Amino acid sequence: MNNPIASILDHYPALVIDGALATELERRGYDLKDSLWSAKILLEQPDAIKQLHYDYFKAGADCAITASYQATIEGFAKRGLNEKEAIALIQKSVKLANEARAEFWNDESNHAGRSKPFIAASIGPYGAFLADGSEYRGNYGLTKKELMDFHRPRVKALIEAGADILACETIPSLIEARAMAKLLKEFPNVMAWFSFSARDEKHISEGQVFADCVKQLEDQPQIVAIGINCTSPKYISSLIREAKKVTNKPILVYPNSGETYDATKHDWDGHPVYESFGEQAKEWYEAGARMIGGCCRTTPEDISVIASWVRNVA
Ligand SMILES: [Zn+2]
């Protein structure tokens, strides 16, 4: 399998990740107040997801992160879907992103000054399946083997659906990262990016030192980029500098707007940290990040601001 990240970074100074999926669908009026979150729309209104992927490509994103973050066999089972139906729905997330990319790329006027986008299949953490905010805390009390068993069927389904790379994201704990890294070895031709959620300038959500986590994953060659997502933008520059000390892999960041998630209300509190997320993102490039986008509460407009400067930096 070729490395879609390296192919872009060989030609451009940085790569543009897309923005929020679930919160942007909410902003567009879809109802996601549900433990399945964006996976609910996958089930009920798939065209809305495809349209949003298309809009992010149009805004300048080099990749689409699929709507599989919260899509799991166990989660769908609670809705009465059997395993086969759940797998089909998980795979549909890749199909929708692929269709959006085909439509976008079939129009040659969209090719100017950029590479063909790739599809990154989202693997949310175990905490996302719990739907109680655990992805920002960790401490599930599960063993590495239990976590591998939880992630295996979805990883397999997403790979079989034709994703270009796996996006293992919002990982709150080192044990879950290690479980995913070990699981990845069962699929030796597959590449992944690993992205943690962080609680401050130095520590991931469960409390481990971010630089130590990065260091422990350094010798896993299938992990082709590493970084932070769904974390307040105010911690990002410091976290990039911490990672840079211990890794040669490209560093990725796609923070949220800085608002915080209230799991009991299924809603976001507070205000965005910066007036212009997209302009602020320049600071992350200067700190050493080479893949930049947005997570919850960011929009296609934010991504288009990032894309407008990313492809022009010297
Ligand atoms: Zn997020």
Q: Are 8 and 113 in contact (CB under 8 A)?
A: no
Query: Is it the case that residue 63 has pLDDT exceeding 80?
Result: yes
pLDDT given at position 38 = 75
Q: Do strands 291-292 and 15-16 pair parallel, antiparallel, or not at all (unpaired)?
A: parallel
Q: Are 139 and 197 in contact (CB under 8 A)?
A: no
Query: Is it the case that residue 34 has pLDDT exceeding 90?
Result: no
Rounded distance from Cα 226 to ligand 1 centre (Å)? 16
Across the beta sheet with 165-171, the strand order is 15-16, 291-292, 251-254, 223-229, 192-196, 165-171, 118-123, 63-65
Residue-wise pLDDT for 114-133, tens only, equals 999 999 999 999 998 888 88
CA torsion, ordered 224, 252, 66, 68, to nearest 10 deg:
90
pLDDT given at position 125 = 96
Rounded distance from Cα 108 to ligand 1 centre (Å)? 32
- Per cent of the chain over pLDDT 70 is 99
Rounded distance from Cα 220 to ligand 1 centre (Å)? 25
pLDDT given at position 16 = 98
Rounded distance from Cα 21 to ligand 1 centre (Å)? 9
- Per cent of the chain over pLDDT 90 is 81
Rounded distance from Cα 192 to ligand 1 centre (Å)? 18
Close Cβ partners of 10 (under 8 Å, ≥ 6 residues apart) = none
Rounded distance from Cα 109 to ligand 1 centre (Å)? 31
Nearest by Cα to 181 from 221, 137, 121: 221
Nearest by Cα to 197 from 139, 149, 247: 139
The span from the CA of 228 to the CA of 239, in Å, is: 8
pLDDT given at position 150 = 96
3-state secondary structure of 268: strand
Res. 296 pLDDT band, cuts 50 70 90: very high
Query: Is it the case that residue 314 has pLDDT exceeding 60?
Result: no
pLDDT given at position 209 = 98
Lowest mean pLDDT among 39-53, 54-68, 143-157, 159-173: 39-53
Averaged pLDDT score across all residues of the chain: 94
3-state secondary structure of 120: strand
Nearest by Cα to 296 from 236, 233, 240: 233
Lowest mean pLDDT among 18-32, 144-158, 266-280: 266-280
Rounded distance from Cα 256 to ligand 1 centre (Å)? 6
pLDDT given at position 1 = 64
Residues composing the chain: 314
Of 225 and 263, the one with more pLDDT: 225
Rounded distance from Cα 261 to ligand 1 centre (Å)? 9
Q: Give the pair of three-digit tokens for residue 7.
A: 């192919």
Rounded distance from Cα 107 to ligand 1 centre (Å)? 30
Nearest by Cα to 264 from 77, 66, 132, 81: 132
Long-range contacts for 273-281 (Cβ within 8 Å, ≥24 apart)?
273/232, 273/233, 273/234, 274/233, 276/302, 276/305, 277/233, 277/302, 277/305, 278/302, 278/303, 278/304, 278/305, 278/306, 278/308, 278/309, 279/305, 280/233, 281/305, 281/306
Q: Letter for the amino acid at 39?
A: A
